Amino acid sequence: MADDIFLLDTNIISDSSKVRPNPTISGWLRQQHRVAIPFAALLEVETGIAEKCRSNPDKAEELWLWMDELLGMDFEYPLPTPQVARQLAKLVCCRPLTHLWFVNEYSDRKKPGQDLFIAATSIVYDMPIATLNVKDFETIDRFFPLPGVYNPANGLWAIPRCDMAARASEATPTMVA
């Protein structure tokens, strides 16, 4: 169980780009010995910066410098392996989760949502997710158990930390001769 590491949701990363980051989140991040940034969160941040480039190139350049500095820090980057792709496919094909496919679904600024990708990474690597928006992950957990979801802003586990390997072995009946 990788209980000494958190998988960061995009909103945790983005908070650090603010002029005045949330001091509770900043303090929590400084206390962590190991944190991981999933590919999906990197993609979301980079997409946001690329969109900003159209309206405010100077701000986008400032954000890219911040991102380069961030990427130079000591984070772990779990790879989007074939196992993650398989888990993501199962999540994407779950009809009750289709509302998570797109962010701003009814807007002309519709873009792919990344919560399913972050959840798939969390499940495969057995890393709890640190997020400021637990609602979508609570929905995912009803269909695909997550190894935990933690909100560092309020210090609460929305989904308690659990060992995914132990949970899987409990679900699999043991054959007795």
> pLDDT tens across 19-65, in order?
899 999 999 999 999 999 999 999 999 999 999 989 999 999 999 99
SS3 at position 80: coil
Domain borders along the chain are 6-171
Q: Return the CATH fold of 6-171.
A: Rossmann fold (3.40.50)
Query: What average pLDDT score do residues 124-146 get?
Result: 97
Residue 3 has pLDDT above 60, yes or no: no
Residue 67 has pLDDT above 60, yes or no: yes
Query: What average pLDDT score do residues 70-95 get?
Result: 94
Question: Residue 67's CB: how many other CB atoms inside 10 A?
Answer: 17
d(CA 143, CA 137): 10
pLDDT at position 174 is 44
Confidence class for position 105, pLDDT limits 50, 70, 90: low
Tell me the average pLDDT of the chain. 88
Q: E strands within the chain? A: 6-8, 35-36, 102-103, 111-112, 129-130, 149-151, 156-159
pTM, whole model, 2 decimals? 0.87
pLDDT at position 135 is 96
